[in-house]
């Protein structure tokens, strides 16, 4: 279900089907990128990053979007604002498919 601003909410699901966090975005990929930046296993470069499967259920729907996600740290840009830390977390995702669940 879309909000007035067009954003949708996606619940992060673990392997047992428990929903632990909610991420919002205009698209499932946008929410998946937000979730990927919060992965615990963050590498020092994109090539070294370990791949993880993340599952996001669209709130108000039975669709579960499945992504392969990885995250890494890199130096902040030279023109970054003062409040930004020296190292930032970046992420990428690759869609693996959609499942429909009936346990909602």
CA 49, 52, 58, 64: dihedral to nearest 10 degrees? 140
Six token digits for residue 36: 């990927």
Mean local confidence (pLDDT), 13-33: 94
Q: What percent of the chain has pLDDT over 70?
A: 96
Q: 34-52: b or e for each residue (b if 16 or more CB lie within 10 Å)?
A: bbbbebeebeeeeeebeeb
Pairing of strands 52-58, 8-13: antiparallel
Rounded CA-CA distance 94/71 in Å is 12
What is the tens place of the pLDDT at every residue in 69-80?
A: 999 999 999 999
- The mean pLDDT of the chain is 92
Q: Tell whether the model's pLDDT for residue 1 goes beyond 70.
A: no
pTM beyond 0.95, yes or no: no
Phi, psi at residue 76, to the nearest 5°? Answer: -70, 155
- The pLDDT, as a whole number, for residue 2 is 64
Six token digits for residue 75: 């130096």
């Amino acid at each position: 279900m879309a909000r007035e601003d067009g954003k949708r909410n996606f619940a992060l699901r673990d392997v047992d089907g428990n929903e632990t966090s909610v991420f919002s975005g205009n698209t499932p990929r946008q929410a998946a990128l937000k979730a990927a930046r919060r992965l615990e296993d963050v590498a020092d470069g994109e090539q070294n990053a370990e791949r993880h499967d993340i599952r996001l259920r669209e709130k108000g729907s039975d669709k579960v979007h499945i992504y392969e996600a990885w995250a890494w740290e890199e130096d902040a840009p030279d023109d970054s604002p003062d409040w930004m830390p020296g190292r930032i977390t970046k992420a990428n995702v690759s869609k693996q498919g959609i499942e429909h669940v009936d346990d909602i």
